[in-house]
Structure 1
Amino acid sequence: MTTPTFAIVGRPNVGKSTLFNRLVGRKLALVDDRPGVTRDRREGDGRLGHLAFRIIDTAGLEEADEGSLLGRMRAQTEAAIQDADVVLFVIDARTGLLPADRPFAELVRRSGKPVILLANKAEGAAGLSGAYEAFGLGLGDPVAISAEHGEGLGELFAALSQFFPEDDDEEDGDEADAPGKPLHVAIVGRPNAGKSTLINRMVGEERLLTGPEAGITRDSISLDWEWRGRGVKLFDTAGLRKRARVEDKLEKLSVADALRAVRFAEVVVVLLDATIPFEKQDLTIVDLIESEGRALVIGLNKWDLVADRPGLLKELREDATRLLPQVRGAAVVPLSGLAGEGIDRLMQAVTDTYEVWNKRISTPRINRWLADALSANPPPAVSGRRIKIRYMTQVKARPPHFAIFGNQLDALPKSYTRYLVNGIREAFELPGVPIRLSLRTSKNPFDREKR
């Protein structure tokens, strides 16, 4: 197979060289806050996950006379575009879309080369807000990244993957991950829910200390495991009690370690004691997982101690739907860590939920659904003017994050955003994962105060 070539282009100081260094894995290109540091084309061997490619860093695009230094730098960049198979067009998400971006977006479009639009420096709320403006270039959905901090590389991997043969993708089919990368699964819950016992059963040895005493586990322990040929990194965590009861300094450190494990995980299994399920602390733990944006599976441990199993399981699944609307549809799996029952069911639910967490929905599909949703239940009027929702797109996965564009969206009631989120979850089959919704109000050129 011929190695594809990607050219990084954009106006000065949008972070092109930082991205180049990130992809080649070395600081080959000089980086500085001042614009115009890069002048010549710089080439290197890039790698992201298992994707290997040729990458070209270019000078910032600026309007200039052909004979001037800036003109010759621009000619070098145009030559790089012609030499490339795919153009990575970069904008600065912190400043948003500037007038200088548009003529060069048109230059890239005229080249006829495939384009991946990158909104760099998209860390934080301000960066993500600026990334939304990139839709206005008409170059497709932007990929929000931070080359400096290494954020959004999973989404970039997915965007680059489409330019490689299918047999070059990883076998398990998750585009957002590097090949062989294990699935990170944290097991959390109240003290004595049976977390360590369950993990010992999964790995097939008494790897973790267990016993009837609550709070034996203090550190978050990670273990490498394999399930049906897929690598899994399991995180055992300390039991999470109500904050008011956590007084001992060591226990505070243990809780902080458990919370860190949740942040590093991709799927979190909340392990409940089936004999006393859904206590207030369990709901608090789910709130934490949702706020961290992790996929969720609920494990009902000690199921071998339960009578009337079919009736209770139906009741507990109904309870989960009622008590946990923020992750509606989360899988509820009965199991017994001590007896080794239900582990396959649990892991199947984990991998299914992980796929949902990574799911991407095309903008045309979303907007066909949105038109029907608005027709069935239009947004309310504010001060005699109806709120207008123009269109919607998915800006990120892991978890699914959607942006709505329109007018007066800051006045949109929470009840209506819940209506939209619930509709998205049902229409596109997104159970058990948090759904993020951002509102992006169009700027009014006639608003004197803003102008």
Structure 2
Amino acid sequence: MSFTIAIIGRPNVGKSTLFNRLVGQKLALVDDMPGVTRDRREGEARLHDLSFTIIDTAGLDEGPKGSLTARMQEQTETAIALADALFFVIDARIGLTPADRAFADFARRADKPVLLLANKSEGKHGELGAMESYALGLGDPIQISAEHGEGMGELYDAVSKLVPPTEDEDDEREETDEERAARPIRVAIVGRPNAGKSTLINHLLGEERLLTSPEAGTTRDSIAVEIEHKGRSFRVFDTAGLRRRSRIEEKLEKLSVADALRAVRFAEVVVLMMDSQNRFEEQDLRIADLIEREGRALVIAVNKWDLMDAQPGQISALRRDADHWLPQVAGVPIVAVSGLMGEGIDRLMQAIVEAYAVWNRRVPTAALNRWFEGAIANNPPPAVSGRRLKLNYITQTKARPPSFVLFCSRADAIPQSYLRYLTNSMRETFELPGTPVRITLREKANPFAHKRKRPN
């Protein structure tokens, strides 16, 4: 019997949009008006290589017995009874509402695994709303955007722990460190057309598994292959070349590009391939920025190195160019390779493993506090309009990528330049080269705000 997940939450938080994305087609009606969904709707969902039954439900709401609202609620309760697990969805842009808190208790009483999904998390306001959802007591929120497809990689990681494997195994047994290390690292190979992505993967496989051609655009679908390299497993996705949007005219290429972007979102490490003779062009920088915004670990592979004239200092020049053009991922690993000749392959695979480890890194709280105090002492935050900005403390909320919440006063007044200073200092202190580092500002609640001022 298929594993079943029910999507629940108050009206208009994006449940049907998420349902449509998981089933891969627009089966459920979607509108800005709350309450469009009334009956529960089932579909066969696919999240990367996971398959399960998904149930879209009406928004949880209360109504008189026998009313339409009450019958919609009964349909939702039936869906919860049929489900093996629940997706509890909130609107991160709005933040927590009293209805969210009430229905969180409803979800807990179901006595089933619950994944808390903070939908509409794109942008600054979404980040803050997602942080508020910790108050529901349903565990770490998974920040997603069902409309734009963001956060699907994190959702995949969480669902993969719930959906039982195809083989008969003990589902209750927790994954050991050895099993986690043996799990394939998901790697997407991306770049401009004709950068040599398929040639590189063929060399890793030792066979002509993927079509290659001097003509750009040979690869259309995102093809996944399993690779073993020095005892470590990798699941590598070859993708279509990414050109500037203005140059994409054919519908088929648009679909191919969408598939490539989907592979980036499901990946853990993304290898950006550049042509050694045309490196760090505008489109390369755009792709690198997309990878950083998606929160994936990044490795740069400069391909066709065998065509370069051997000169001293070329690798050092690559390092300087990378730090100059991509300051948002300072220290990103960069490797010179030749997919055709097999040069630099071992260094590239080692860089992928190391980037994956950095992407998963958690900083010890004591060390984080010591760094934070020193960073503020060495460079205090600037005063704004004559008022001092107070930074209270910082904590790491999650890894993959390393993400932190900084509690402070007047979050909107802290300059971006000071956040860049903290980010770069953190990279250097805790050895976080190349991986995206997220710092979200959150104002600390004023304990005296509720008290009235005394009359004069």
Q: Please report the TM-score for the alignment, with normalisation by the length of structure 1.
A: 0.68
Residues 9 and 87, structure 1, Cα contact 8 Å, conserved in 2: yes
Deviation track 1:338-379 (CA, whole Å, cap 9, x = no partner) reads 7542234335435654x368x4566xx575554333233335
Q: 1:10 Cα shift?
A: 1.0
Cα gap change, 1:29 to 1:227, in 2 (>3 Å)? closer
Question: Which whole-Å CA distance do the structure 2 matches of 1:89 and 1:422 have between them?
Answer: 36
Deviation track 1:12-36 (CA, whole Å, cap 9, x = no partner) reads 1222233334334455544443323
Alignment-mate amino acid for residue 306 of structure 1: A
Instruction: Determine the structure 2 residue equivalent to 1:296.
Output: 299
Pick the aligned partner of 1:327 from 322, 326, 329: 329
Task: Please state if 1:23 is matched with 2:17.
Answer: no
Task: Please state if 1:222 is matched with 2:219.
Answer: yes
Task: Please state if 1:269 is matched with 2:273.
Answer: yes
Question: Which whole-Å CA distance do the structure 2 matches of 1:55 and 1:198 have between them?
Answer: 35
Task: Choose 286-295 or 153-162, whichever is displaced more.
Answer: 286-295
Question: Which whole-Å CA distance do the structure 2 matches of 1:137 and 1:396 have between them?
Answer: 21
Q: 1:11 Cα shift?
A: 1.0
Q: 1:54 Cα shift?
A: 3.4
Question: Which whole-Å CA distance do the structure 1 matches of 2:388 and 2:300 have between them?
Answer: 43
- Within 5 Å, which residues of 2 pair with 1:382-397? 382=383, 383=386, 385-394=388-397, 397=400
Deviation track 1:143-171 (CA, whole Å, cap 9, x = no partner) reads 22233443332221112112134787999
Q: 1:268 Cα shift?
A: 0.6
Residues 89 and 118, structure 1, Cα contact 8 Å, conserved in 2: yes
Residues 283 and 324, structure 1, Cα contact 8 Å, conserved in 2: no
Question: Which whole-Å CA distance do the structure 1 matches of 2:371 and 2:76 have between them?
Answer: 45
Alignment-mate amino acid for residue 268 of structure 1: L
Q: 1:116 Cα shift?
A: 0.9
Q: 1:437 Cα shift?
A: 3.4
Cα gap change, 1:116 to 1:390, in 2 (>3 Å)? farther
Residues 58 and 76, structure 1, Cα contact 8 Å, conserved in 2: yes
Task: Please state if 1:173 is matched with 2:172.
Answer: no
Question: Which whole-Å CA distance do the structure 2 matches of 1:318 and 1:137 have between them?
Answer: 46
Alignment-mate amino acid for residue 369 of structure 2: A
Instruction: Determine the structure 2 residue equivalent to 1:157.
Output: 156
- Within 5 Å, which residues of 2 pair with 1:234-273? 253=247, 266-272=270-276
Aligned partner of residue 417 in structure 1, secondary structure? helix
For structure 2, the residue ranges without an aligned partner over 5 or more in a row are 168-178, 229-234, 265-269, 293-297, 451-456
Cα gap change, 1:371 to 1:401, in 2 (>3 Å)? closer
Question: Which whole-Å CA distance do the structure 2 matches of 1:75 and 1:198 have between them?
Answer: 52
Residues 64 and 71, structure 1, Cα contact 8 Å, conserved in 2: yes
Task: Please state if 1:33 is matched with 2:37.
Answer: no
Residues 361 and 394, structure 1, Cα contact 8 Å, conserved in 2: no
Alignment-mate amino acid for residue 185 of structure 1: I
Cα gap change, 1:236 to 1:129, in 2 (>3 Å)? same
Task: Please state if 1:184 is matched with 2:185.
Answer: no
Task: Choose 88-97 or 117-126, whichever is displaced more.
Answer: 117-126
Alignment-mate amino acid for residue 38 of structure 1: T
Residues 56 and 80, structure 1, Cα contact 8 Å, conserved in 2: yes
Aligned partner of residue 373 in structure 2, secondary structure? helix
Residues 10 and 61, structure 1, Cα contact 8 Å, conserved in 2: yes
Pick the aligned partner of 2:370 from 365, 369, 372: 372
Question: Which whole-Å CA distance do the structure 2 matches of 1:27 and 1:225 have between them?
Answer: 26
Residues 187 and 271, structure 1, Cα contact 8 Å, conserved in 2: no
Deviation track 1:256-308 (CA, whole Å, cap 9, x = no partner) reads x9xx79967642123445xxxxx9x7386764344223523143724874256
Q: Over aligned residue pairs, what C-alpha RMSD do you find?
A: 4.7
Deviation track 1:411-433 (CA, whole Å, cap 9, x = no partner) reads 33445423432354456654333
Instruction: Determine the structure 2 residue equivalent to 1:114.
Output: 113
Question: Which whole-Å CA distance do the structure 2 matches of 1:305 and 1:8 have between them?
Answer: 58
Count of equivalent residues: 403
Alignment-mate amino acid for residue 380 of structure 1: P
Question: Which whole-Å CA distance do the structure 1 matches of 2:241 and 2:17 have between them?
Answer: 36
Q: 1:438 Cα shift?
A: 3.6
Cα gap change, 1:135 to 1:84, in 2 (>3 Å)? same
Question: Which whole-Å CA distance do the structure 2 matches of 1:197 and 1:360 have between them?
Answer: 26
Question: Which whole-Å CA distance do the structure 2 matches of 1:47 and 1:195 have between them?
Answer: 30
Question: Which whole-Å CA distance do the structure 2 matches of 1:196 and 1:19 have between them?
Answer: 35
- Within 5 Å, which residues of 2 pair with 1:47-446? 47-66=46-65, 68-165=67-164, 173=183, 183-187=187-191, 195=195, 199=199, 207-209=212-214, 219-222=216-219, 228=227, 230-233=235-238, 253=247, 266-272=270-276, 282=280, 287-294=285-292, 295-299=298-302, 301-302=305-306, 305-306=309-310, 313=315, 317=319, 325-336=327-338, 339-350=341-352, 353=355, 355=356, 359-360=359-360, 369-378=367-376, 380=381, 382=383, 383=386, 385-394=388-397, 397=400, 402-414=404-416, 416-425=418-427, 430-441=432-443, 446=449
Aligned partner of residue 228 in structure 1, secondary structure? strand
Question: Which whole-Å CA distance do the structure 2 matches of 1:70 and 1:368 have between them?
Answer: 51
Name the % identity. 42
Residues 143 and 395, structure 1, Cα contact 8 Å, conserved in 2: no
Alignment-mate amino acid for residue 289 of structure 2: S
Q: Please report the TM-score for the alignment, with normalisation by the length of structure 2.
A: 0.68
Alignment-mate amino acid for residue 233 of structure 1: D
